[in-house]
């Protein structure tokens, strides 16, 4: 029999589980023994290690090198062949190490999101890791939960699931508890919930029937990748640049070969020598490192962001973060702590404060209305308690919506435990809370009769209340009384408190609920909740403003509540908008309005996406926070979708970034890191490209000028593949300039390599080459020793980068305005470079391969001066283009 066939009772019996108790510890252990842990064999998101190693050989650079090595060998140039192949191999290793490090880092990040599942075990609701689920476990699910195993639905309310991950169907399918029979396709098994899919709406209780590879998705074996990492815009930009530069350089190399064969010194003018020279120049100039450096910087940047409590899920987000110009943030939990507590209560006859509420007790006669209100608040409530073993109310783990938890918490203080109440007044039906509906209702069996309990936004409740509870009696709600209630409520809203109306309705012979039942209610009380502001929000808002980032607070709360909070944190400069207003506006009107709005109140989740689009159409880069299922479209639509760590699984899966601590400050901190990342990318590109053309000019110059070729192939390879291997990566560890958060956000359309950078690259290449060429001519003319002269040029190439990299570390300040030596990775990389350079000149083995000769101290001195001159050069260009102008910083 299939899992969807037969009655629920049969299924439960088969699994030996009582749906109101769940499995016992013993059963769990036994089932785990049989079925194993609930894990899927995940298809690798990245290429495996071996494949990654071999993929290094696929690059154009490698192919050129290997072919060149083989040709040299075939022509009997074994020394050259060895050098070429060894450097090629070295390059493969470095490429491999870098790429696998980056991949590991990304993998680790993607594994950081673990899913906790609420289940019923031994009569208690407990949160367990999704990998701990076993068949027979009773899942308690609410809208937004990710389904972690295949399960048969036992109870369902307004339940629908999005099964696109499994069936490809993107519309949610509705789910129920009815029996099915015969052969039913997976997509039509409407009484089942499947692993890998998501509960889109409603609530459900379901019994696990299959875990791990036994689930439908497990059978397909290939788990749909959660994060598809397409190339980011910058990666694409750089790939394109690499490619066009590559083609250009190949032409230049062919040119060098042709010129060499025609004009070079007779001694140099052999096929093999000119061929190797042309190849080496190509190798030197092709900026192969660009693409991988970018990935490494992004991956390392993501680690830095993680240190600041936010998890970036996609490479592209790490790149976009720095350009965010608008943050649309939730209020609850992000601006505030999200630890809602009941602080006041209004009943018809009383106004209770916090202490009064703490001293409520169902045992005493006093405050009967308030006690009833609490009771309703606890029953019409989808939160739950994971009681653990402790007796200490404060230490229990509360699960669910913050509003719900606040009421359960207040109840627990008054000695009204949700378990006991749920037991004595069992729930028969529910209308779940949605942000659109703004209330929730539940039907309970109270003694012989049934009652509908309801809590929600006060104006909704008040609008459909006809009566009011006064001292335990139901009285007509007069217009005068209505007005008085409103005034009392306003006083609380003005203080930034969140209000919940509480009401009931006695119904007879009813087992079902729908929205039409919500009418003729008896109002019992208005509960006021407060959610303290996060202490650092005010400061962070200032930082964000200073950084040119616009902040808009979005909340489902009442306009007045929102305004009061806005005032407290300093968000009161803009207009306040309410959702109803938004409803009547066209997209154009909204676009004209959004720049002036700082608070959107009483907003439905559907409005969020319109707000995002409105900002985007103004050219803004928008970060939008969200936690619910309904937030998913907005999270997807925003440039950076930010899910709260406490939010639903769906929100986290859709988002680009997850705030582990929910805090607003974390968003701003991440943006700051994002700006650093972008700055580091620019620095690396500048560094790599400035070095790129050095050899091209010098070598062409020496041939055309009738000199021996200025550098030998082996030397060029050594410089490019050994000397320059590490420093660029070390730049990824640079901390950003302090001033990064005083810039305006970068424009979406901004080019990575702008005019200033181009000029810097060209000027640097030309001037450095002229100096080095002069040195070359002078040394050759005075000594006539070509080996010595080439060694000088060789050291010149090598030393160059080891100096000016310190200059490139900040493009905002002159080198003496910052400490150029405070990046230990860079010091290590440069140290390694020095070691290799000195070894290349003074170690006999390397002298043999590289045809170098030892230099005297005086000659080293000259080369040091040359290195320093490069720093001066870069500093001068920096000063002209960046520091002096103040207008542009990298």
Active site residues: 330
* Closest to ligand ADP by CB, 599 or 725: 599
Contacts made by residues 854-861, CB under 8 angstroms, sequence distance 24+: 855/788, 855/791, 855/792, 855/795, 859/792, 860/795
Residue 662 contacts ligand ADP per CB under 6 A: no
* Closest to ligand ADP by CB, 625 or 728: 625
Residue 145 contacts ligand ADP per CB under 6 A: no
Task: Work out which of 77, 268, 557, 734 binds ligand ADP, going by CB under 6 A.
Answer: 557
Q: How far is the CB of 506 from ligand ADP (least distance, A)?
A: 20
Task: Work out which of 435, 540, 654, 670 binds ligand ADP, going by CB under 6 A.
Answer: 435
Residue 607 contacts ligand ADP per CB under 6 A: no
* 414 neighbors 360 (Cβ within 8 angstroms): yes
**Residue where the block lists tokens 């992000």:** 334
Q: List binders of ligand ADP among 53-92 (CB under 6 A).
A: none
Binding mask 443-462 for ligand ADP (x = CB under 6 A): ------------xxx-----
Q: How far is the CB of 401 from ligand ADP (least distance, A)?
A: 4
* Closest to ligand ADP by CB, 456 or 727: 456
Residue 555 contacts ligand ADP per CB under 6 A: yes
Residue 332 contacts ligand ADP per CB under 6 A: yes
Q: How far apart are CA 493 and CA 332, in angstroms?
A: 15
Residue 556 contacts ligand ADP per CB under 6 A: yes
Q: Which residue is nearest to ligand ADP (CB)?
A: 556
Q: How many residues sit in the footprint of ligand ADP (CB under 6 A)?
A: 21
Tell me how many helices (H) and strands (E) the chain has.
33, 26
Q: How far is the CB of 440 from ligand ADP (least distance, A)?
A: 5
Which whole-number Å values give the CA distances from 187 to 113, 162, 172, 629, in the listed order? 27, 10, 11, 21
* Closest to ligand ADP by CB, 140 or 457: 457
* Closest to ligand ADP by CB, 459 or 859: 459
Q: How far apart are CA 558 and CA 346, in angstroms?
A: 17
Residue 577 contacts ligand ADP per CB under 6 A: no
652: closest CA among 173, 333, 314, 303?
Answer: 314
* Closest to ligand ADP by CB, 438 or 812: 438
Q: How far is the CB of 204 from ligand ADP (least distance, A)?
A: 18
Residue 433 contacts ligand ADP per CB under 6 A: yes
| Strand-pair partners of 208 | 151
Binding mask 291-330 for ligand ADP (x = CB under 6 A): ---------------------------------------x
Which whole-number Å values give the CA distances from 632 to 342, 635, 637, in the listed order? 30, 5, 8
* Closest to ligand ADP by CB, 81 or 407: 407
Task: Work out which of 257, 409, 439, 600 binds ligand ADP, going by CB under 6 A.
Answer: 439
* Closest to ligand ADP by CB, 518 or 873: 518
Q: What b/e sequence results for 528-537 when a residue is b if at least 16 CB atoms lie within 10 Å of its CB, and e otherwise? A: bbbbebbeeb
* 685 neighbors 757 (Cβ within 8 angstroms): yes
The alpha carbon of 741 is separated from its chain's Cα centroid by a whole number of angstroms, namely: 20
The alpha carbon torsion through 606, 609, 613, 615 (nearest 10 deg) reads 100
Q: How far is the CB of 607 from ligand ADP (least distance, A)?
A: 11
Q: Per the structure block, which two tokens stand in for 273? A: 């020598």
Q: Per the structure block, which two tokens stand in for 145? A: 């939960």
Sequence-distant (6+) residues with CB within 8 A of 686 are 757, 760, 761, 808, 811, 890
Q: List binders of ligand ADP among 464-503 (CB under 6 A).
A: 498-500
Q: How far is the CB of 377 from ligand ADP (least distance, A)?
A: 9
Q: What b/e sequence results for 194-212 when a residue is b if at least 16 CB atoms lie within 10 Å of its CB, and e otherwise? A: bbbbbbbbbbbbbbbbbbb
Q: How far is the CB of 462 from ligand ADP (least distance, A)?
A: 11
Q: How far is the CB of 382 from ligand ADP (least distance, A)?
A: 7
Q: How far is the CB of 332 from ligand ADP (least distance, A)?
A: 4
Binding mask 390-429 for ligand ADP (x = CB under 6 A): -----------x-xx-------------------------
Task: Work out which of 152, 273, 331, 788 binds ligand ADP, going by CB under 6 A.
Answer: 331
H-type alpha helices, 718-842: 727-730, 755-783, 786-808, 824-842
Angle of helix 664-692 relative to helix 289-307, nearest 10 degrees, comes to 160
Q: Which residues bind ligand ADP (CB under 6 A)?
A: 330-332, 401, 403-404, 433, 435, 438-440, 455-457, 498-500, 555-558
């Amino acid at each position: 029999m299939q899992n969807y066939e037969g009655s629920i009772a049969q299924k439960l019996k088969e699994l030996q589980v009582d749906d109101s108790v769940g499995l016992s510890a013993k059963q769990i252990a036994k089932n785990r023994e049989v079925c194993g842990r609930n894990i899927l064999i995940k298809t690798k998101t990245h290429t495996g290690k071996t494949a990654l190693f071999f993929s290094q050989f696929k690059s154009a650079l490698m192919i050129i090198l290997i072919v060149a090595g083989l040709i040299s060998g075939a022509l009997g140039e074994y020394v050259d062949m060895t050098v070429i192949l060894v450097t090629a191999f070295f390059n493969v290793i470095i490429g491999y190490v870098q790429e696998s490090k980056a991949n590991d880092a990304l993998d680790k990040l993607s594994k950081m999101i673990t899913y906790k599942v609420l289940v019923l075990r031994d009569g208690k609701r407990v949160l367990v890791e999704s990998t701990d689920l076993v068949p027979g476990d009773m899942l308690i699910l609410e809208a937004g939960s990710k389904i972690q195993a295949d399960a048969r639905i036992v109870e369902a309310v307004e339940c629908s699931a999005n099964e696109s991950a499994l069936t490809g169907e993107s519309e949610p399918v509705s789910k129920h508890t009815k029996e099915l029979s015969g052969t039913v396709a997976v997509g039509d098994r409407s009484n089942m919930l499947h692993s890998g899919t998501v509960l889109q709406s409603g609530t459900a209780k379901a019994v696990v029937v299959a875990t791990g590879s036994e689930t439908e998705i497990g059978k397909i074996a290939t788990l749909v990748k959660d994060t598809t990492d397409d190339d980011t815009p910058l990666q694409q930009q750089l790939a394109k640049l690499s490619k066009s530069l590559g083609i250009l350089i190949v032409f230049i190399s062919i040119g060098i070969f042709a010129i060499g064969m025609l004009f070079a010194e007779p001694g140099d003018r052999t096929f093999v020598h000119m061929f190797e020279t042309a190849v080496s120049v190509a190798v030197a100039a092709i900026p192969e490192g660009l693409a991988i450096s970018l990935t490494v910087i992004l991956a390392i940047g993501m680690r830095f962001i993680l240190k600041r409590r936010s998890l970036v899920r996609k490479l592209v987000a790490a790149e976009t973060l720095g350009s965010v110009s608008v943050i649309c943030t939730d209020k609850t939990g992000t601006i505030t702590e999200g630890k809602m507590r009941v602080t006041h209560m209004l009943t018809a006859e009383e106004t209770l404060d916090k202490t009064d509420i703490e001293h409520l007790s169902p045992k005493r006669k006093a405050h009967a209305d308030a006690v009833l209100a609490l009771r309703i608040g606890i029953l019409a409530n989808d939160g739950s308690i994971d009681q653990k073993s402790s007796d200490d109310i404060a230490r229990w783990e509360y699960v669910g919506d913050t509003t719900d938890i606040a009421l359960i918490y207040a109840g627990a203080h008054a000695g009204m435990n949700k378990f006991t109440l749920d037991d004595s007044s069992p729930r028969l039906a529910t209308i779940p809370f949605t942000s659109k509906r703004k209330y929730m209702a539940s039907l309970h069996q109270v003694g012989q009769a049934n009652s509908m309990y309801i809590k929600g936004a006060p104006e909704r409740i008040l609008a459909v209340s006809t009566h009011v509870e006064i001292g335990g009696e139901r009285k007509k709600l007069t217009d005068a009384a209505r007005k008085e209630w409103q005034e009392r409520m306003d006083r609380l809203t003005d203080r930034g408190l969140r209000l919940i109306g509480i009401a009931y309705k006695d119904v007879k012979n009813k087992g079902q609920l729908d929205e039409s039942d919500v009418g003729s209610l008896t109002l019992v009380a208005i509960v006021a909740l407060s959610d303290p502001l996060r202490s650092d929000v005010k400061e962070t808002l200032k930082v964000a403003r200073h950084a040119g980032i616009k902040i808009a607070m979005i909340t489902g709360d009442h306009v007045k509540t929102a305004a009061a909070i806005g005032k407290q944190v300093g968000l009161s400069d803009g207009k306040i908008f309410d959702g109803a207003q938004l409803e009547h506006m066209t997209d154009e009107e909204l676009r004209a309005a959004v720049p002036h709005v700082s608070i959107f109140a009483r907003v439905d989740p559907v409005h969020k996406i319109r707000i995002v689009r409105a900002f985007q159409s103004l050219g803004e880069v928008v970060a939008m926070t969200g936690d619910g299922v309904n937030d998913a479209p907005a999270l997807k639509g925003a440039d950076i979708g930010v899910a709260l760590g406490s939010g639903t699984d769906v929100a986290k899966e859709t988002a680009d970034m997850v705030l582990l601590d929910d805090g607003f400050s974390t968003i701003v901190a991440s943006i700051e890191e994002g700006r650093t990342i972008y700055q580091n990318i620019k620095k690396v590109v500048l560094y790599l490209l400035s070095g790129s053309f050095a050899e091209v000019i010098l070598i062409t110059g020496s041939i055309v000028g009738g000199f021996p070729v200025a550098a030998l192939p082996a030397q060029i390879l050594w410089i490019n593949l050994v000397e320059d291997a590490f420093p660029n990566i070390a730049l990824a560890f640079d901390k950003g300039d302090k001033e990064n958060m005083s810039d305006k956000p970068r424009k979406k359309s901004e080019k990575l390599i702008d005019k200033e950078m181009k000029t810097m690259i060209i000027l640097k290449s030309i001037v450095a080459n002229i100096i080095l060429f002069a040195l070359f001519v002078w040394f050759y003319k005075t000594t006539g020793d070509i080996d010595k002269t080439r060694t000088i040029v060789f050291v010149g190439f090598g030393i160059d980068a080891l100096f000016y990299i310190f200059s490139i570390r900040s493009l905002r300040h002159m080198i003496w305005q910052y400490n150029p030596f405070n990046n230990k990775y860079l010091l290590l990389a440069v140290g390694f470079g020095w070691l290799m350079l000195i070894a290349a000149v003074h170690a006999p083995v390397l002298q043999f391969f590289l045809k170098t000769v030892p230099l005297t101290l005086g000659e080293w001195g000259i080369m040091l001066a040359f290195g320093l001159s490069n720093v001066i050069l870069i500093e001068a260009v920096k000063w002209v283009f960046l520091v002096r102008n103040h207008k542009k910083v990298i």
